[in-house]
């Protein structure tokens, strides 16, 4: 983590005025909670939550070779990605390790890429080093990013930006919101239907005020963002994913498109191809932890002799299941749902079972689905 002073984001004063408790995160001062994590979590699943994720990096990758350049580092099939559509993908190193996870959208003649806040400086350096000459990378520091998530997000946003209701999951478009030009995609990090809104920083406060002023909406802090994504089975970079972990180990094989699997040609392909063929040594799984006590990141997965064979990478309490849940890396032979797993935290043994993820069903708005 950075040692320097915390940097202020466009909505800093607004969060404080809403009664947020602020903490340092990714070098920024960010709201961890307003009224309380459990209340905010349940509100998001029942209605609509407004998240400020302006710490994330919003990048433009442009130029004739942008698609080819990105395909050399991401395992996504960008060639078949239609205009206005986005993909979850992974920035890879030459060993097949995950440098970051991201969302890439084809937007006219360029790609719009959203990366994690804590990793954006490293990502930019890596992309600048690896993308071919002629590909232009622009970090849009003047853009803020909001997410509106939950079953009522569509009602709220359709009222303020008509037309967004026609977006399907993982598609986006240009809209006007509160008089400002914005880019809205139907995507998010909670497992709920919802939207992510890229907007000019100078308009962030007015738009946050407009959205939070709708009766279905409350502001939600990073605490509930984390518990929501954990229930949704979504990995958090720097915790569940890192440069030593491959997409196959991380159970993110879906992010490796069919054509890319067959053709390869992206960083780390040889190792990833081998793991697809032979299976990985370890795998990310969900755990349902017995008893009521949460098991946290860093707890050890142990075998019957008590030897460490894996690690818990995220753990907490599920407000919807009212039980402790976790993500962990376990030996591949122990990754089947229902397998008994033994954990050790602060000298105490916990029993857990491998659980299917998501822990709480996704409710994305997929076109063609009911």
The yes or no reply on residue 314 touching other proteins (CB under 8 A) is no
Retrieve residue 310's tokens.
């894996």
Q: Nearest CA to 316 among 263, 260, 239?
A: 239
Binding other proteins by CB under 8 A: which of 317, 329, 350, 359?
317
Selected range binding other proteins among 1-9, 176-184, 194-202, 313-321, rule: CB under 8 A: 313-321
Task: Provide the β-strand partners of residue 325.
Answer: 288, 316
Q: Nearest CA to 324 among 304, 308, 303, 341?
A: 341
Q: How far is CA 338 from CA 60, 122, 249, 351, 356, in A?
A: 43, 38, 19, 12, 9
x/- letters, 227..256, toward other proteins (CB under 8 A): x-----------------------------
Block residue for tokens 């190193």? 93
CB 314 within 8 A of CB 326: yes
Task: Provide the β-strand partners of residue 227.
Answer: none
The yes or no reply on residue 29 touching other proteins (CB under 8 A) is no
Binding other proteins by CB under 8 A: which of 11, 37, 157, 327?
37
Retrieve residue 336's tokens.
């089947």
The yes or no reply on residue 143 touching other proteins (CB under 8 A) is no
Q: Which is nearer to other proteins, 193 or 226 (CB)?
A: 226
Kindly state the smallest distance separating residue 343's Cβ from other proteins, in Å. 14
Q: How is residue 7 annotated by DSSP?
A: B
Q: Which is nearer to other proteins, 242 or 297 (CB)?
A: 297
**SS3 category, 320:** coil
Retrieve residue 327's tokens.
């993500």
x/- letters, 288..307, toward other proteins (CB under 8 A): ----xxx-x-----------
How many residues of this chain interact with other proteins, rule: CB under 8 A? 17
Q: Which is nearer to other proteins, 55 or 365 (CB)?
A: 55
Q: Nearest CA to 208 among 184, 174, 178, 181?
A: 178
Rounded Cα gap, residues 2 and 21, in angstroms: 20
Kindly state the smallest distance separating residue 325's Cβ from other proteins, in Å. 11
CB 318 within 8 A of CB 230: yes
Q: Which is nearer to other proteins, 31 or 96 (CB)?
A: 31
Kindly state the smallest distance separating residue 222's Cβ from other proteins, in Å. 9
Q: Which is nearer to other proteins, 240 or 275 (CB)?
A: 240
Q: Which is nearer to other proteins, 294 or 310 (CB)?
A: 294
Kindly state the smallest distance separating residue 294's Cβ from other proteins, in Å. 5
Retrieve residue 352's tokens.
């857990």
The yes or no reply on residue 36 touching other proteins (CB under 8 A) is yes
Q: Which is nearer to other proteins, 226 or 249 (CB)?
A: 226
The yes or no reply on residue 58 touching other proteins (CB under 8 A) is no
Pairing of strands 194-200, 180-185: antiparallel
Binding other proteins by CB under 8 A: which of 15, 41, 110, 152?
41
Retrieve residue 257's tokens.
């498109």
The yes or no reply on residue 96 touching other proteins (CB under 8 A) is no
Dihedral, CA atoms, 193, 360, 285, 243, nearest 10 degrees? 30
Pairing of strands 48-52, 217-219: parallel
Q: Which is nearer to other proteins, 69 or 316 (CB)?
A: 316
Half-sphere exposure of 277 (CA within 13 A, CB side): 8
Rounded Cα gap, residues 113 and 106, in angstroms: 9
x/- letters, 319..358, toward other proteins (CB under 8 A): x----x----------------------------------
Q: Which is nearer to other proteins, 123 or 226 (CB)?
A: 226
Contacting residues toward other proteins, per CB under 8 A: 33, 36-39, 41, 223, 226-227, 292-294, 296, 316-317, 319, 324
């Amino acid at each position: 983590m950075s040692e320097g002073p915390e940097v202020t984001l466009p909505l800093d004063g607004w969060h404080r005025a809403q009664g947020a408790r602020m903490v340092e995160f990714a070098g920024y001062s960010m709201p961890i909670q307003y009224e309380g994590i459990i209340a905010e979590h349940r509100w998001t699943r029942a209605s609509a939550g407004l998240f400020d994720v302006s710490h994330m990096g919003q990048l433009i990758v442009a130029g004739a070779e942008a698609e080819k350049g990105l395909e050399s580092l991401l395992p996504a099939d960008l060639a078949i990605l239609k205009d206005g559509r986005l993909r979850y993908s992974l920035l890879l190193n030459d060993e097949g390790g995950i440098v970051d996870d991201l969302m890439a959208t084809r937007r006219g003649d360029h790609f719009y890429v959203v990366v994690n806040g804590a990793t954006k400086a490293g990502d930019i350096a890596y992309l600048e080093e690896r993308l071919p000459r002629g590909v232009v990378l622009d970090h849009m520091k003047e853009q803020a990013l909001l997410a509106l998530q939950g079953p009522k997000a569509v009602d709220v946003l359709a009222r303020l930006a008509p037309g967004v209701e026609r977006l399907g999951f993982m598609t986006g478009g240009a809209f006007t919101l509160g008089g400002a030009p914005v880019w809205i995609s139907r995507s998010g990090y909670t497992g709920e239907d919802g939207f992510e809104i890229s907007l000019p920083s100078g308009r962030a406060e007015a738009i946050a005020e407009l959205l939070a002023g709708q009766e279905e909406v409350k502001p939600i802090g990073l605490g509930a963002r984390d518990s929501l994504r954990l229930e949704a089975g979504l990995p958090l970079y720097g915790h569940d994913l890192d440069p030593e972990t491959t997409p196959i180990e991380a159970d993110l094989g879906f992010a490796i498109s069919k054509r890319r699997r067959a053709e390869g040609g992206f960083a780390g392909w040889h190792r990833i191809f081998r793991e697809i063929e032979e299976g990985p040594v370890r795998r990310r799984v969900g755990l349902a932890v017995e008893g009521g006590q949460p098991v946290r990141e860093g707890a050890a997965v142990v075998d019957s002799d008590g030897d460490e064979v894996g690690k818990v990478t995220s753990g907490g309490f599920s407000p919807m299941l009212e039980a402790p849940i976790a993500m962990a890396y376990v030996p591949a032979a122990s990754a089947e749902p229902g397998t008994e797993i033994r954990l050790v935290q602060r000298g105490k043994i916990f029993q857990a079972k491998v659980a299917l993820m998501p822990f709480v069903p996704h409710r994305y708005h997929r076109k063609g689905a009911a």
